[in-house]
């Protein structure tokens, strides 16, 4: 699969033909933070800024969330203790903390901030036996005390100070280095350096040479050699680097050097395997041009397409609600993502294949199957043998120069399937009735050929020794093409016609 920045500027969820792009920014300021939270209707992405209500993404548009916290500089999601109900927690620049259950916002009294600087919040397990708790970092007063606290913990009923010689806190993470899970924090620790862990009574230094510099983000990530703690920022000791890795005994630089600051890290699998993502002011990593965002696969850093035209300050791994494809939300001071206009918010989409125009009745924009013969999820209309209908799936790499794309059916009736290609969604996104099914593919149609079917399975493309890109005359520059399969069906079923169709598959080709 070949990932890309995805265009989401259309007001409808119909397929788009652009390879790269953005989604409309939420109303108000540039988002400070993202969170993925289920308020009862399924997981959704929420964003915050320092002036407005939370914003929620429904798959096509952002909207304000009534009765949600206002002016949040950071967000966190989790259930307290062991298996407590999940809540969305927010913190303002003045360290006021709120809990949101999807309908009601509850103020958690007891902390207040001295200076208007962005504090941080996390819901994590500190490994001390009580399960998850809310941790906040800033310059605070706890329970009416002096404004000298920098870390506080909320257990569901009260706040407690996690004291020590600390001048600032910028990030939290929960990590097991082999000796048990502990809470890690990044900031200014007088005795422990830039990163310290909480023992239950004090902040302690990590073994080995201290990390010196400024940490802006912590993230646990497994690059294939086991989970490790990663940090980004500006470091001078024990290595001069901007992204470093802690393996339980020492800090080491991660790959080549960045040419400028790194602000945030995220661990995300875009479909090609887990990777570490970094964003910041940089425009290259070593000799590799990478505009403000880059990906570490465990061996080397690489660019994400054309990247961003400005730095980002928030990243969130998520899943597209419609297709289930992985996507990475990014927000920051940029106006273009992947070479297309972007208003401060974009998503890196991890999958080159999208099922569209299924006969399952899930998409109200798609015309209903002709005889009420609704198929299974993501499949075509039901046929005389299979009540779930026939399915078309794609696999391989849709790379024009090195095409390994394979199209395969499942559940067709008859002895063969006819594969065809188009450059548009038929009916401008509605499809059109044809035989016992719905034709999804429109525009300039091209017949790709018939393939024998056995047990409902017919295969075309790389797995059967042919090239879809070559047969379909896919442009060398790539682009979006639409695919479907036609097959024979019993005359006594549904309409008087003797054929049916699978669902459609949209494929994003790259050069």
**What secondary structure does DSSP assign to 416-450, as a single string?**
EEEEEEESEEHHHHT-EEETTEEE-EESS-EEEEE
pLDDT at 353: 79
pLDDT at 22: 44
Does residue 17 have a pLDDT over 50? Answer: no
Residue 401 · residue 511 · CB < 8 Å = yes
| Cβ-based neighbours of 204, under 8 Å, separated by 6 or more | 192, 196, 197, 198
pLDDT at 51: 84
**Would you place residue 388 in the very low, low, confident or very high pLDDT band (cuts 50, 70, 90)?**
very high
Does residue 263 have a pLDDT over 80? Answer: yes
Region 169-178: mean pLDDT is 92
Per-domain boundaries in the chain: 354-509
Residue 239 · residue 256 · CB < 8 Å = no
d(CA 285, CA 267): 18
Residue 21 · residue 330 · CB < 8 Å = no
Region 45-63: mean pLDDT is 88
Q: Are strands 86-91 and 74-79 parallel, antiparallel or unpaired?
A: antiparallel
In sequence order, which ranges of 284-360 are alpha helices (DSSP H)?
none
pLDDT at 393: 94
pLDDT at 309: 93
Q: Of 88-102, 196-210, 259-273, 445-459, which one has max mean pLDDT?
A: 445-459
pLDDT at 12: 26
pLDDT at 281: 95
d(CA 296, CA 380): 39
pLDDT at 262: 95
Residues 336-383 pLDDT 10s: 888 778 889 998 876 577 788 999 988 888 999 999 999 999 999 999
Q: Of 46-50, 249-253, 294-298, which one has max mean pLDDT?
A: 294-298
pLDDT at 450: 95
The answer, as to whether pTM is greater than 0.75, is no
Instruction: Find out if CATH 1.10.8 is the number for domain 354-509.
Output: no
Among 42-46, 230-234, 324-328, the least confident range: 324-328
Of all residues in the chain, what percent carry a pLDDT higher than 90? 56
Does residue 227 have a pLDDT over 90? Answer: yes
Residues 454-505 pLDDT 10s: 999 999 999 999 999 999 999 987 888 999 999 999 878 899 999 999 999 9
Among 4-13, 45-54, 115-124, 361-370, the least confident range: 4-13
pLDDT at 25: 57
d(CA 388, CA 358): 11
Looking at per-residue pLDDT, the higher value among 298 and 145 belongs to 298
Of all residues in the chain, what percent carry a pLDDT higher than 70? 89
**Would you place residue 21 in the very low, low, confident or very high pLDDT band (cuts 50, 70, 90)?**
very low
Does residue 11 have a pLDDT over 50? Answer: no
pLDDT at 19: 29
**Would you place residue 20 in the very low, low, confident or very high pLDDT band (cuts 50, 70, 90)?**
very low
d(CA 26, CA 142): 33
pLDDT at 48: 92
**Half-sphere exposure in the Cβ direction for 373 (13 Å, CA):** 25
Q: How many DSSP H helices and E strands does the chain contain? A: 2, 46
Region 21-41: mean pLDDT is 74
pLDDT at 481: 92
């Amino acid at each position: 699969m070949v990932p890309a920045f995805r265009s989401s500027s259309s007001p409808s969820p119909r397929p788009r033909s652009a390879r790269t792009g953005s989604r409309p920014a939420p109303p108000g300021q540039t988002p400070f933070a993202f969170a993925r939270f289920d308020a009862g209707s399924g997981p959704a992405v929420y964003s915050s800024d320092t002036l407005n209500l939370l914003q929620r993404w429904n798959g096509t548009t952002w909207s304000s969330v009534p009765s949600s916290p206002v002016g949040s500089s950071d967000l966190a999601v989790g259930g307290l203790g062991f298996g407590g109900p999940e809540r969305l927690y927010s913190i303002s620049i003045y360290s006021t903390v709120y809990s949101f259950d999807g309908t009601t916002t509850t103020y958690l009294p007891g902390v207040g901030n001295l200076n208007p600087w962005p504090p941080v919040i996390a819901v994590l397990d500190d490994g001390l036996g009580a399960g998850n708790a809310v941790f906040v970092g800033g310059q605070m007063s706890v329970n009416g005390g002096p404004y000298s606290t920098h870390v506080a913990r909320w257990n569901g009923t009260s706040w407690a100070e996690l004291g020590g010689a600390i001048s600032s806190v910028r990030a939290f993470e929960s990590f097991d280095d082999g000796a048990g899970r502990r809470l890690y924090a990044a900031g200014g620790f007088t005795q422990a350096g830039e990163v310290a862990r909480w023992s239950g009574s004090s902040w302690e230094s990590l073994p080995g040479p201290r990390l010196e510099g400024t940490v802006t983000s912590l993230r646990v990530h497994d690059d294939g050699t086991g989970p490790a703690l990663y940090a980004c920022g500006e470091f001078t000791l024990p290595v001069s680097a901007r992204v470093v890795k802690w393996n339980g005994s020492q800090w080491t630089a991660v790959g080549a050097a960045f040419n400028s600051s790194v602000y945030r890290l995220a661990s995300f699998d875009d479909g090609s395997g887990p990777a570490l993502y970094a964003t910041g002011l940089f425009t290259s990593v070593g000799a590799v041009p990478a505009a403000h965002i880059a990906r570490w696969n465990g061996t080397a850093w690489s660019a994400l397409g054309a990247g961003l035209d400005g730095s980002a300050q928030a990243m969130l791994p998520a899943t597209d609600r419609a297709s289930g494809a992985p996507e990475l939300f990014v927000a920051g001071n940029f106006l273009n993502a992947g070479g297309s206009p972007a208003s401060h918010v974009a998503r890196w989409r991890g999958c080159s294949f999208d099922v569209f125009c299924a006969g399952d009745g899930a998409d109200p924009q798609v015309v209903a199957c002709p005889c009420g013969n609704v198929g299974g999820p993501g499949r075509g209309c039901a046929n005389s043998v299979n009540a779930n209908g026939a399915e078309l799936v794609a696999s391989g790499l849709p790379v024009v120069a090195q095409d390994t794309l394979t199209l395969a059916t499942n559940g067709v009736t008859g002895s063969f399937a006819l594969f065809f290609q188009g450059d548009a969604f038929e009916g401008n996104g509605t499809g059109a009735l044809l035989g016992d099914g719905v034709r999804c593919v429109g525009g300039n149609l091209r017949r790709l050929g018939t393939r024998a079917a056995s047990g409902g399975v017919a295969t075309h493309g790389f797995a059967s020794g042919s090239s879809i890109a070559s047969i379909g005359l896919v442009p060398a520059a790539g682009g979006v093409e639409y695919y479907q399969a036609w097959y024979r069906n019993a005359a006594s079923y549904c309409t008087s016609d003797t054929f049916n169709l699978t669902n459609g598959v949209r494929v994003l080709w790259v050069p």
